[in-house]
Amino acid sequence: MISLLYACGFRVSELINLKKENLDFNEKVGYVKQGKGRKDRIFNIPEFLFSKLKNYVDKKENSNYVFSGRKGKLSERNIQKIVQKAARKAGIEKQVHPHTLRHSFATHLLESGIDIRMIQELLGHADLSTTQIYTHISGEQLKKIKSPIDELMKEEN
């Protein structure tokens, strides 16, 4: 659950509403149906989770939802508790929430050079300004950016 929250940039509501029928293991993708703003979107099933997720879903018989508990669909509070417990277990002292993983997903994609408009699509944002809130750019990253004139001048010399 935690890996999917981060690896796909899910909102908690999207994770708890994810149904087995929305996973296409042949294409290695899944679909968020009726996410926030009633938007549908596609996500890639991460390679490192693919086998585990497929086996888990194949064995799951008692629910249409990918993740469920004894009483059916998990609540947002269940997921919050699971994430907080995992953070404590990992020795993380800062407050960690499921949404922290979504922010990290967006930030790490941006840091690895993925175009912000693609990140916007992956997050399911209608407006680019919403995506920009998720992407925290550090001062160290900004210091690494070279002026275009420096590149031009290299060619001249």
Q: What is the pLDDT of residue 46?
A: 92
Query: Confidence band (pLDDT; 50, 70, 90) for 73?
Result: confident
Residue 59 within a domain: yes
Whichever domain contains 80, its CATH number is 1.10.443.10
Residue 149 within a domain: no
Query: Confidence band (pLDDT; 50, 70, 90) for 37?
Result: low
Active site residue ranges: 11, 36, 99, 102, 125, 134
63 pLDDT exceeds 90? Answer: no
Domain ranges, residue 115: 2-138
Residue 8 within a domain: yes
Q: Domain tally for the chain?
A: 1
Q: What is the pTM of this model?
A: 0.79
Residue 31 within a domain: yes
138 pLDDT exceeds 60? Answer: no
Asked if 66 and 57 touch (Cβ cutoff 8 Å), the reply is yes
